[in-house]
Structure 1
Amino acid sequence: MHMPSTTDLPEIDSPYTLGAEQIERFRADGFIKLKEVFSAEALEAYGEAITELTLANDPNKGVPMEQRDTYSKAFIQVMNLWRMDERAKALTFSKRLARIAAELLGVSGVRLWHDQALYKEPGGGFTPWHADQYYWPMATMNSVTAWIPLQAVPMDMGPLAFGRGSHLIPAGREIGISDESEKQIAEHIEKHRLEQVYEPFDLGEVSFHYGFTLHRAGPNTTDRARKVHTIIYMEADQRLIEPRNASQQMDWESWTPTSEVGRVMDDPLNPVLYAE
């Protein structure tokens, strides 16, 4: 197989212009969807590598859907693809995306927490309501995930959905993704009368959401996989806190193993991807 050098691949590092109104909307809503962040050519070129790596490292390989729990039915999940392939690294290290993340957060620079592929197979189940930062031992709310579909995502494929303004209420922060989180967070959203935003994604559209923004996805009822690459950013000066749960302890050991509590997470696994 021909493995193109990153110089052969489409440009993904040039700036994407964000308006002040978009930044304000992100901070108020807890998420934003941006059109035409990547071209079809770029998604095809980088998506090929992401798909190869995801299928090769599928932890659910050979396990029938009916034998999986809710989480395993929701998607194939593979972490830190950037360490496996130069094309995956080029996408994860995209300066365009990292700059958007920094501008949305209002910080001078961002580091990588980790990347992950989330492939919802044909017939794959729903993704329960949850907040990502439940898993992350971070001192501040300055974290954001870029959700990058590698194809258009119609409603029946399970696009990401958000609770508008949910990052501003202390709900769903003490429970991991599960059937119980789906139930509890749905009740919180109803109680606080938060709008649930369910929309398809166009080809090239990318969303960004805070670590504490509540989100979920419906099932994939199509005959095609919903292929998504995600990149989690944190402010460049983000500090490690004492883990609040076993999941945060595991993430410390996995994603920033040499970092110390109270200090900036500057482990080699957490490079600065954008700085002013």
Structure 2
Amino acid sequence: MLTSLNDKAAITDDQVQQFRNNGHLLTPHLLSADEVAECRKIINNAAYRYNTEKRPLAERDTYGKAFLQIMNLWEVDDAVRQFTLAKRFAHVAATLLGVPNVRIYHDQALYKEPGGGFTPWHQDQYYWPLDTQNTVTMWMPLINISEEMGMLTFASGSHKEGFTENIPISDESEAILEQFIKEKGFAISRPPYMSAGDATWHYGWTLHAAPGNKSEVTREVMTVIYFADGASVTAPQNKHQENDRNRWLLGLEPGSLAASELNPLVL
């Protein structure tokens, strides 16, 4: 059904350099209009089927208000599996990281509802017990989105600082990391508009956030996280890494190759 996604996307040397300098990159038109329409149908079907968040926005904390988060859809839905394991995306990830092969960490649908709150500043890799800097998240809107819908926002160059604070996504991370960004003088970058099927890519250590959704339309985004083949599991530094070690790495012991059944080689 989605076999066309196993071709290779063209990535230029300039794009690779931009990614490595800034810690993030926008790749336009990664999916055609027909491809994104089919992918949206497939992902929406699975996301709403497996969504477990039923509380109204007013009853959720800052993290819960930021988005509906439905994780590892590829594990439970064969159609989504074709999207998540697509070689087109994996090839971009490997090219940007400069590695021959990449594995999946997990995917997640991130749907910011109308009136949904802001996503605080954070680093994705805070959650990941992996011993490599070669990690990258693909963030793809399934509909056209503007800034007012909750556009992903980056602190350019922040990935070069590596690990900053042992803190999860929260009001506290927003305050502490916003101050850190100001002190370091990182430029803030946010695309004003993204078309369905465009994608941004950011390193696991790139600081990023998103404003709330002020529109009347749900911001539908699908993400896939990749890491370089050959990475090992590290001793968890917080409870979230321990949870990830057990869930996404199937309990592999520290020092083990990060290559469980849930981390397939995709390129």
Secondary structure at 2:80's aligned position in 1?
A: helix
Is 1:139 equivalent to 2:134 in the alignment? no
Q: Take 1:170 and 1:262, find their aligned partners in 2: how far apart are those partners?
A: 21
Residues 133-175 of structure 1 deviation map (CA, whole Å, 9 limit, x = unaligned): 0000010111100001101111111111100000012464411
Question: What stretches of structure 1 move > 3 A for 4+ residues in a row?
Answer: 170-173
Q: Runs of 5+ in structure 2 lacking a partner?
A: none
Counterpart in 2 of 1:83?
75
Q: Please state if 1:160 is matched with 2:152.
A: yes
The residue type equivalent to 1:202 in the other structure is: S
Contact 2:154 2:189 in 1 (8 A): yes
The corresponding residue for 1:3 is: none
Residue in 2 aligned with 1:260? 253
Taking the aligned partners of 2:142 and 2:160, their CA distance within structure 1 comes to 30
C-alpha displacement of 1:257? 1.3
What is aligned with 2:122? 130
Residue in structure 2 matching 1:106, options 98, 101, 104: 98
2:84 corresponds to which residue? 92
Q: Secondary structure at the match of 1:145?
A: strand
In structure 2, how many angstroms separate the alpha carbons of the residues matched to 1:262 and 1:173?
A: 23
User: Which of 29, 52, 61 is equivalent to 2:22?
Assistant: 29
Equivalent position of 2:233 in the other structure: 240
Q: Which residue of 1 aligns with 2:38?
A: 45
Corresponding residue for residue 62 of structure 2:
70
Partner of 2:200: 207
Amino acid of the structure 1 residue aligned with 2:39: Y
> Aligned equivalents of 1:156 and 1:243: distance in 2?
36
Runs of at least 5 residues in structure 1 that lack an aligned partner in the other structure:
1-5
For residue 198 of structure 1, the aligned residue among 190, 209, 215 is 190
Count, aligned residues: 266
Once residues 162 and 251 of structure 2 are traced to their aligned partners in structure 1, the CA distance between those partners, rounded to angstroms, is: 30
- Taking the aligned partners of 1:196 and 1:22, their CA distance within structure 2 comes to 19
The whole-number CA distance in structure 2 between the counterparts of 1:240 and 1:252 is: 8
Percent of aligned pairs with the same amino acid:
39
Instruction: Note if 1:217 corresponds to 2:220.
Output: no
TM-score w.r.t. length of structure 1: 0.93
Please tell me whether residue 15 in structure 1 is matched to residue 8 in structure 2.
yes
Q: 1:183 aligns with which of 175, 180, 186?
A: 175
